[in-house]
Amino acid sequence: MTSSSAPPTGAYVIAKALRDLGVTVIFGIVGIPVVEIAEQAINLGIRFIGFRNEQAAGYAATAYGYLTGKPGVCLVVGGPGVLHAMAGIGNSSSNAFPMLLLAGSSETHLVTKGAFQELDAISLLAPHTKLAARPPALESIPHLIESAYRTSWYGRPGTGFVDLPADLIQGAADSAEDIPQTAPLPLPPASGADEAKLSKIARLLKNAKAPLLVVGKGAAYAQAESSIRALVDQTSIPFLPSPMGKGVLPDSHPANTASARSTALQHADIVLVLGARLNWIFHFGDAPKWNPAARFIQVDIEPSEIGRNGGDAELGIVGDINVVVPQLLSQLSGWTYSPSSSPYLSALAEAKRKNEDKAAKAAAKASLPLTYAHAFDVIKRTLHTLSPPDDGGIVYVSEGANTMDISRSVFPVQHPRLRLDAGTYATMGVGLGYAIAAHEAYNASPSSPEAVSGPKPGRKKIVALEGDSAFGFSAMEVETMARYQMDVLIFVMNNGGVYHGDSDTAEEWLERQGAAGGKGLRSTSLGWEVRYEKIAEACGGLGFFVRTPEELKRATEEGFRTNMPVVVNVVIESGKKGKLEFGWQASAKKGKKGK
């Protein structure tokens, strides 16, 4: 209650509905008319994290949803606020991360009159959300917020949207008794599979020459690590994690085929897909990347996913990994994949050895300017002395085409949900919002019901590995981090451009920039050796500009121990020297040549 006499305002009713649902943090940006909602929420004990652009706030809410397994909440103004937040909606639906989006809108009686920030947000967002609705009256606000929250969460996650007109936010109820209450919702119901189908799948696995388990970020979101661990430990079936499925099983697990990925795809005949989609990340389940005879058994909570692309519709299971995997394990009744001789296992071992050798050589190759591989090796070694990977004390956020591709295999992840990247949409610009979400999820308040426990209790260091281009999308969020005293350690891998950048040297870059009558800078060009670290300094954080391995090591050590946001600006090779192919393109080409 606001007070015993005054009837509650719409803003209070909204904030209270969120609080009673168990919401502990809201990501967003205030303005007219939503500022009152945020103020009431803060008064009720909800944390409000105010961003510099709704895009990053939306990304943060979705990542928070992924990490905590419950919808992240985002609050924005109408019109332009909604348009910016649409990026978060796209991220939510493409990655299947739950988000509740609340936006203000103009007074209902002014609609079509050219009101302040007027936008028909419901029409715009309905096709992109699981539910988009506007309460017709103040009394219906709690029900609608609960409905949008639940809808975003249950089934395959996505976005629930509630449009909140200014007159409702600013209006007052006749009396407090008219306002219904919300309460925390039970976890989404989880269903299993029928035993006949399971026994058929168990038989196929037992008879497989080359079984493979694919573990995706749906398994990480489902927090299914114990059941999947039991399955792999008992059966010894080789597994392949997706980029964000890394850590559901420790990267160091002997059955991990990540460093022999192409070989695993080429050989696997029975593939059990747990919480991953056969989309571009898994080459649509198609030959020649995959064995043309491979059969894909999908386990997914979303029925429309079953049978999509390479999936076998008859074998697929609509169910929750946490229920289905233990069911399957009991059907396998003690069976272990241990063929007396297996060309599959030998090929995997051989490919692993070769690829890991190659990576070690690249990592050891010191040159100036630094290469990605050597710079990451220096960062990794330094971080590991400060926080051994088994402790799970570091959350990695990674984006930028090459930065993400190359760092993925460098930094081992031993526990689930400790690595976030550009994801299904390959969205560049998510990094800083994700880092804030991770900081909030893991460090904000250990007693909060939404706090993630992780493998070891205690604070986690958030480390963001950013390409210079990716960093630029949301660089101002460093100020957000500083304001909320978030000790995020950001590395900007600075090659002066998108992909490989533009020029090999400063002289070449300057000549191109000024090229009289010439073609000028390439489309991949960014500024030459931009001093990104100064953004951190300007906001009260710490900045380092480094060129050498020694400088990088020192900056990493100091940055790790610092209690505020740190930007380590790492100059790496660019232009023709730094030329690299985007990982998935290179592998697609290789696949074509292969067959």
Binding site residues, ligand ADP, CB under 6 A? 95-96, 156, 216-218, 221-222, 242, 244-245, 275-277, 279, 281, 299-302, 305, 320-321, 424
Least Cβ distance, residue 475 to Mg ion (angstroms): 13
Nearest CA-CA partner of 100 in 125, 75, 77, 128: 75
User: Does residue 61 sit in helix, strand or coil?
Assistant: helix
Residues 6 or more apart in contact with residue 157 via CB below 8 angstroms: 65, 71, 92, 96, 97, 98, 221
Least Cβ distance, residue 53 to Mg ion (angstroms): 21
Identify the helix (H) or strand (E) that includes residue 165: strand 159-165
- By CB under 5 A, residue 405 contacts Mg ion: no
The residue (of 185 and 345) whose beta carbon lies closer to ligand ADP is: 185
The residue (of 242 and 263) whose beta carbon lies closer to ligand ADP is: 242
Tokens 């409702």 label which residue? Answer: 168
- Cis amide prior to 549 (ω within 30 degrees): no
Least Cβ distance, residue 321 to Mg ion (angstroms): 36
Q: In this structure, what token pair is assigned to residue 222?
A: 């489902």
Residues 6 or more apart in contact with residue 391 via CB below 8 angstroms: 455, 456
Residue 38 contact partner, candidates ligand ADP, Mg ion, none, CB within 5 to 8 A by sort of partner: none
Residue 95 contact partner, candidates Mg ion, ligand ADP, none, CB within 5 to 8 A by sort of partner: ligand ADP
Residue 125 contact partner, candidates Mg ion, ligand ADP, none, CB within 5 to 8 A by sort of partner: none
- By CB under 5 A, residue 407 contacts Mg ion: no
The residue (of 218 and 400) whose beta carbon lies closer to ligand ADP is: 218
Residues 6 or more apart in contact with residue 250 via CB below 8 angstroms: 256, 412, 413, 414, 415
Residue 281 contact partner, candidates Mg ion, ligand ADP, none, CB within 5 to 8 A by sort of partner: ligand ADP
Residues 6 or more apart in contact with residue 496 via CB below 8 angstroms: 468, 502, 503, 509, 525, 526, 527, 528, 529, 530, 574, 575
Question: Where does this chain touch Mg ion (CB under 5 A) — which range of 26-34, 167-175, 280-288, 469-477?
Answer: 469-477
Residue 459 main-chain phi, psi, to 5 deg: -65, 155
Residue 521 is which amino acid?
Answer: L
| Binding-residue total with Mg ion (CB under 5 A) | 4
Residue 424 contact partner, candidates Mg ion, ligand ADP, none, CB within 5 to 8 A by sort of partner: ligand ADP
CA distance 409 to 406: 6
Q: Are 186 and 69 in contact (CB under 8 A)?
A: no
Applying CB under 5 A, among 98, 250, 467, 549 the residue interacting with Mg ion is 467
Looking at beta carbons, which residue is closest to ligand ADP? 218
Query: Would you list the DSSP string of 389-436?
Result: GGGT-EEEEEESHHHHHHHHHHS---STT-EEESTTTT-TT-HHHHHH
The residue (of 501 and 591) whose beta carbon lies closer to Mg ion is: 501
The residue (of 251 and 479) whose beta carbon lies closer to ligand ADP is: 251
The residue (of 193 and 489) whose beta carbon lies closer to ligand ADP is: 193
Residue 351 contact partner, candidates Mg ion, ligand ADP, none, CB within 5 to 8 A by sort of partner: none
Applying CB under 5 A, among 182, 495, 525, 569 the residue interacting with Mg ion is 495
The residue (of 301 and 521) whose beta carbon lies closer to ligand ADP is: 301
Residue 446 is which amino acid?
Answer: P
Residue 468 contact partner, candidates Mg ion, ligand ADP, none, CB within 5 to 8 A by sort of partner: Mg ion
CA distance 245 to 105: 38
Least Cβ distance, residue 442 to Mg ion (angstroms): 28
Residue 291 contact partner, candidates ligand ADP, Mg ion, none, CB within 5 to 8 A by sort of partner: none
- By CB under 5 A, residue 468 contacts Mg ion: yes
Least Cβ distance, residue 289 to ligand ADP (angstroms): 14
Residue 217 contact partner, candidates Mg ion, ligand ADP, none, CB within 5 to 8 A by sort of partner: ligand ADP
